[in-house]
Structure 1
């Protein structure tokens, strides 16, 4: 299954999406029927500014900063359940870490490694490296919304959310050429992730699937 059918570059479009070596589960308690059971997200927008380097749980987390040229707006990213909120927080930072790594042209980003287990880390690094090869960065804005989260029977966190990339673009670092993302339904993606809590107390992504037009 494809992990990253995301923000088109001159050479990276939906038809050439990168592959995930460990896709999310396709059934059972990981598969939503409409809304995910147990989801309870408020309609608020969270800041796209620097992330906190330490959380209330005492875990030292990397600081992730996105430049003003690229915004990642998280809407409704709150939950009344503290444990579910912790899953959402780490899921949010995992996504932000990848955007930051693309912009920094750094596939070996420590922050990306911090939030990903081995298999999804390899896939994420491959996706980031493609931007480095194409010598492009990210500009514009993505909107991340409709988070749906629960804990399945095995104790894993299951987090689904939507990413609207239609206002995001890539920019060639040398020429300045901008490649816009088409205003099409397939560019509103649904992320289906599973996260497991590490010994250090971090909810790391252990599998991820991206579904183009999955939120339509």
Structure 2
């Protein structure tokens, strides 16, 4: 695949260690033990991002029918952790939408990314634009783990299975499938900071091919 769907790895600060020690403490999942899938075939994903009271007006991000993003288990009974999950989900969806739209300067990407993460995201999106490629198929994002280390910083790990996704060239309609290999199941490791508007923005991110078993 000419463009792996995964991001080019960016540096992640040492605060990621906080999440590793927090895993299994009960703060990274829904205490009810129920798994809830959120996907782009319905209104729940976009509605969840725009319905927060008292905060910034979040962009309405839409993905076309030919590309599906499923988010399994992205719910938490703690409102603070759920807020990180919501904005982390929309950050990923914004980047997929920007690739499909061919828009590296996407306002939605700039809304959810800042600093190093915004620079990396724009380079990644631009690489698809330069070869006139879009995305089709589906990805599954699952096993999110969140640790809020202070009132305005958080560390967030999750898995993305890209094996059912492909690129499709806009000019030739050539489809290039993602390899069906362990390296196509990635672990995303993000550091987030809460903006003055109350948005949990991703400020640094790295991806680990094969990081989710």
TM-score (norm 2): 0.88
Moved more, 158-167 or 36-45: 36-45
Contact map agreement 2:23 2:145 (CA 8 A) in 1? no
* Deviation, structure 1 residue 196: 1.0
* Deviation, structure 1 residue 111: 0.1
Give the corresponding residue for 2:79. Answer: 82
| Partner SS for 1:157 | strand
* Deviation, structure 1 residue 155: 4.6
Q: What are the Cα deviations for residues 190-215 of structure 1, in whole angstroms up to 9, with x where unaligned?
A: 00111111000100001111101111
| Partner SS for 2:208 | strand
Contact map agreement 2:148 2:155 (CA 8 A) in 1? yes
* Deviation, structure 1 residue 24: 3.9
Let me know the Cα RMSD of the aligned residues.
2.2
* Deviation, structure 1 residue 47: 2.7
Which structure 2 residues correspond to residues 48-197 of structure 1 after superposition, within 5 A? 48=40, 49=42, 51-52=46-47, 54-58=50-54, 59-152=56-149, 155-197=152-194
Contact map agreement 2:19 2:146 (CA 8 A) in 1? no
Number of aligned positions between the proteins: 205
Q: What are the Cα deviations for residues 83-135 of structure 1, in whole angstroms up to 9, with x where unaligned?
A: 10000000000000000000000000000000011211010000000000111
TM-score (norm 1): 0.87
Give the corresponding residue for 1:38. Answer: 27
| Partner SS for 1:85 | helix
* Deviation, structure 1 residue 55: 2.4
Give the corresponding residue for 1:18. Answer: 8
Which ranges in structure 2 are unaligned for 5 or more consecutive residues? none
Instruction: Work out the CA distance in 2 between the residues paired with 1:131 and 1:35.
Output: 37
Instruction: Work out the CA distance in 1 between the residues paired with 2:150 and 2:50.
Output: 29
Moved more, 205-214 or 36-45: 36-45
Instruction: Work out the CA distance in 2 between the residues paired with 1:88 and 1:23.
Output: 18
Distance change >3 Å, CA 190–CA 28, structure 1 → 2: closer
Which ranges in structure 1 are unaligned for 5 or more consecutive residues? 1-7
